[in-house]
Amino acid sequence: KQDINRKGTEQSDFPSVCETCLGPNPYIRMLKQESGAECKICSRPFTVFRWTLQGQSKYQKTALCTSCCRIRNCCSLCMLDLQFGLPIQVRDAALKLVKQGPTTAVNREYHAQNEKALLSEENAGEVSKDYGKAESAARELLKKLARSEPYARKPTQAIESSASKSSKTDKSAQRSAGMSRPTVSDLLPPADRSITSLFLLGVEEDLPEYAIRQHFGKYGAIKSLVCSHRARCAFVNFTTRESAEAAALACAGDVLIKGCPLRVQWGKPRQ
């Protein structure tokens, strides 16, 4: 017998996304895929939206369904609060509105359907959980947290100016923010012939380790690969010096792997 409480797909025409994730371009072409993924909160299939930002080739992808985003007043991409730009756990803790939710998959689906029923057409403009009734002291705390690191967002004007600067040259558009241009010392092979490793900077969380190994494996046998997504860096150790020199010469200081720009330089010996 089919359980109506496990009925399942969420359909929407537009995602709940913040201005930062949409980018400065007012004209965006989105790809819509119904039942494209499973919502990370309610575990129901939902409509996935994909788009690219100005000057980038990697697609942005929504991770939450529109119902869960409207209930929690958060962005479907970065999962931050739409008003304060904070993680929803930090916001709920500051407002003292957090409560234990369902843990099993069936209960999450049932809870999501009940919450969606509360968002009727006459209450479409209201935010659930009475976020607007927060005390002034809690709101001041949220504003201070929003201006502090690491949750501070860039102003929209700063994003637009950086996007216009990056679009001037193709080379600058391929480099991520905060990465300086490679120097001559980074490109020249070190005098120590025992150094056979290359240092990669700018490794994103969604860049898999096998993609790095596959890209540099065509220059020679790889002895080991040490990748730290938390530190956003990686070491590629080749078996021979010739393979390392061939890879460094081909990269010439930077490389683009699966839409992720990386800075490449020679490794340094341990002191």
Note whether 109 and 221 are same-domain residues: no
CA distance 70 to 88: 12
What is the predicted pLDDT for the residue at 152? 43
Over range 4-24, report the average pLDDT: 77
Average pLDDT, the chain: 73
Note whether 194 and 149 are same-domain residues: no
**pLDDT over 70 (residue 89):** yes
Note whether 190 and 123 are same-domain residues: no
What is the span of the domain harbouring residue 240? 174-266
Identify whether 169 is part of a domain.
no
Note whether 20 and 126 are same-domain residues: yes
Distance of CA 48 to the CA centre of its chain: 15
- Give percent of the chain above pLDDT 70: 61
- Closest to 251 in 3D by CA, of 202, 204, 191, 178: 202
Beta strands per DSSP E along the chain = 31-38, 45-52, 59-61, 197-201, 222-228, 233-238, 254-257, 260-266
Alpha helices in 96-237 (DSSP H): 105-118, 136-147, 156-166, 170-173, 184-187, 209-216
Q: Compare 115 and 69 and report the one with higher pLDDT.
A: 69
User: What band does 201 get if pLDDT is binned at 50, 70 and 90?
Assistant: confident
Other Cβ atoms within 10 Å of 211 Cβ, number: 12
Note whether 186 and 103 are same-domain residues: no
Residue with tokens 């530190």: 231
**Residue 187: φ, ψ to 5°:** -90, -30
What is the predicted pLDDT for the residue at 48? 93
Note whether 59 and 179 are same-domain residues: no
- The DSSP element (H or E) to which 20 belongs, if any, is helix 19-22
Over range 114-132, report the average pLDDT: 54
- Closest to 241 in 3D by CA, of 261, 266, 258: 266
Tokens (6 digits) for 267: 């490794």
Dihedral sign, Cα of residue 182, residue 185, residue 189, residue 195: negative
Note whether 24 and 141 are same-domain residues: yes
- Quote the pTM value: 0.41
- Give percent of the chain above pLDDT 90: 4
Highest mean pLDDT among 31-45, 77-91, 128-142: 31-45
- How many residues does the structure list for the chain? 271
Domain end among 90, 121, 156: 156
User: What band does 175 get if pLDDT is binned at 50, 70 and 90?
Assistant: very low
What is the predicted pLDDT for the residue at 62? 92
3-state secondary structure of 207: coil
What is the predicted pLDDT for the residue at 82? 84
Note whether 184 and 106 are same-domain residues: no
Note whether 181 and 97 are same-domain residues: no
Q: How many domains would you assign to the chain?
A: 2
Dihedral sign, Cα of residue 200, residue 202, residue 205, residue 210: negative
For 34-58, what is each residue's pLDDT tens digit? Answer: 888 888 888 889 999 999 887 777 8
The span from the first CA to the last CA of the chain, in angstroms, equals 69
Note whether 81 and 109 are same-domain residues: yes
Contacts of 43 (CB under 8 A, 6+ apart): 105, 108, 109
Note whether 148 and 193 are same-domain residues: no
Domain end among 105, 128, 156: 156
Identify whether 123 is part of a domain.
yes
Cα–Cα distance list, 12 to 31, 47, 69, 116 (Å)? 13, 6, 12, 13
Cβ contact 76:95 at 8 Å: no
